[in-house]
């Protein structure tokens, strides 16, 4: 009996010792796994962990758009005015095709092509003049007899009689026959070499558009300088506005008294 009780007690001590040893064995935690080297973690695990964190690859930021140019303040770069004679219409179409072709890509208005059907002719002409930077007048013998061509010419002159926004183009016409309203302008002759004249028109339009941007940048710089300028004190303003006053100069009697 005593031996049997001894065996039971010994088996209980052995099992309790085994439980204590298992309790002292260090278990690998999630933290210990995360501390392992990246090489030991499979790509699949790394992808799942990144997706579980909800981090997605950042999209590249688009560059800021460039400031708008003064060119886009008007709908057209140049308006081409011509008579309704078939030969004049064909010449105007050739000029517009040249200016609109790449790499020039100018925006042109041609009445026979761009006028709104059903609109009042006078209104269409006035809007076309106002929405164009420059006005190219294809002056031919029939131009001089066309009342609407003269109307457009006078509308363009009314906006700027001495400006550089009118380009007279002469064809089959001498300079002496040019209308007196535009006779003092530099004229381009298309009679002998139309392609050369088209090139001159293109350069004239591009130079005008470039000067628009330059003048705008100069104006913006001067406005920034004036707005950021230091405010002078009352004494400094008084010194800046001080003028020569003969009455304030010492006389000979004052000098003798001194």
Look at residue 227 and tell me whether its pLDDT is greater than 80.
Answer: no
Contact 147, 139 (CB under 8 A): no
Q: Is residue 254 domain-resident?
A: no
> CATH number of the domain that 195 lies in?
3.40.50.10140
Q: Is residue 177 domain-resident?
A: yes
Q: Is residue 232 domain-resident?
A: no
The C-alpha torsion from 173 through 176 and 182 to 183, rounded to 10°, is 140
The rounded distance, in Å, linking the Cα atoms of 126 and 156 is: 9
Q: Is the peptide bond before 243 cis (omega within 30 degrees of 0)?
A: no
Domain assignment of residue 204, given as a range: 71-220
The rounded distance, in Å, linking the Cα atoms of 116 and 168 is: 25
pLDDT digits (tens, 9 = 90+) for 189-206: 999 999 999 999 999 999
Max Cα distance, the chain (Å): 150
**Total of domains in the chain:** 1
pLDDT digits (tens, 9 = 90+) for 133-169: 999 999 999 999 999 999 999 999 998 777 889 999 9
Pairing outcome for strands 188-189 and 76-81? unpaired
Dihedral sign for Cα atoms in the order 202, 203, 207, 213: positive
pLDDT for res 225: 62
Q: Is residue 54 domain-resident?
A: no
User: Which of 185, 181, 167, 184 shows the shortest CA–CA distance to 79?
Assistant: 167
Q: Is residue 33 domain-resident?
A: no
Look at residue 258 and tell me whether its pLDDT is greater than 50.
Answer: no
Q: Is residue 8 domain-resident?
A: no
Residue by residue, what is the 3-state secondary structure of the chain? CHHHHHHHHHHHHHHHHHHHHHHHCCCCCHHHHHCCCHHHCCHHHHHHHHHHHCCCCCCCCCCCCCCCCHHHHCCEEEEEECCCCHHHHHHHHHHHHHHHCCCCCCCEEEHHHHCCCCCCHHHHHHHHHHCEEEEEEEECHHHHHCHHHHHHHHHHHHHCCCCCCEEEEECCCCHHHCCHHHCCCCCEECCCCHHHHHHHHHHHHHHHHHHHHHHHHHHHHHHHHHHHCCCCCHHHHHHHCCCCCHHHCCCHHHHHHC
pLDDT for res 79: 97
Q: Is residue 114 domain-resident?
A: yes
The rounded distance, in Å, linking the Cα atoms of 202 and 95 is: 10
Q: Is residue 38 domain-resident?
A: no
pLDDT digits (tens, 9 = 90+) for 55-64: 444 443 433 3
Q: What tokens were used for 104?
A: 């020039």
Q: Rounded mean pLDDT of the chain?
A: 74
pLDDT digits (tens, 9 = 90+) for 79-131: 999 999 999 999 999 999 999 999 999 999 999 999 988 989 999 999 999 99
pLDDT for res 52: 41
pLDDT for res 96: 97
Q: Is the pTM of this model over 0.75?
A: no
């Amino acid at each position: 009996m005593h031996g049997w009780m001894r065996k039971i007690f010994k088996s209980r001590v052995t099992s309790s010792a085994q439980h204590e040893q298992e309790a002292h064995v260090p278990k690998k935690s999630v933290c210990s796994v995360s501390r392992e080297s990246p090489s030991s973690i499979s790509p699949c695990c790394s992808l799942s962990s990144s997706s579980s964190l909800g981090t997605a690859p950042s999209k590249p930021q688009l560059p800021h758009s460039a400031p708008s140019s003064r060119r886009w303040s008007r709908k057209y770069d140049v308006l081409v005015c011509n008579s309704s004679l078939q030969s004049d219409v064909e010449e105007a179409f050739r000029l517009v095709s040249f200016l609109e072709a790449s790499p020039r890509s100018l925006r042109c208005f041609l009445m026979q092509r761009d006028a709104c059907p059903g609109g009042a002719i006078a209104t269409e002409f006035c809007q076309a003049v106002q929405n164009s930077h420059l006005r190219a007048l294809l002056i031919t013998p029939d131009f001089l007899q066309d009342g609407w061509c003269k109307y457009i010419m006078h509308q363009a002159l009314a906006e700027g009689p001495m400006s550089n926004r009118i380009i007279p183009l002469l064809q089959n016409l001498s300079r002496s026959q040019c209308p007196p309203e535009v006779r003092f302008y530099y004229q381009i002759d298309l009679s002998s070499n139309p392609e050369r004249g088209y090139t001159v028109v293109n350069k004239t339009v591009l130079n005008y558009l470039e000067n628009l941007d330059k003048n705008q940048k100069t104006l913006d710089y001067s406005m920034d300088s004036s707005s950021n300028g230091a405010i002078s004190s009352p004494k400094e303003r008084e010194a800046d506005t001080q003028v020569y006053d003969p009455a304030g100069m010492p006389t000979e009697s004052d000098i003798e008294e001194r």
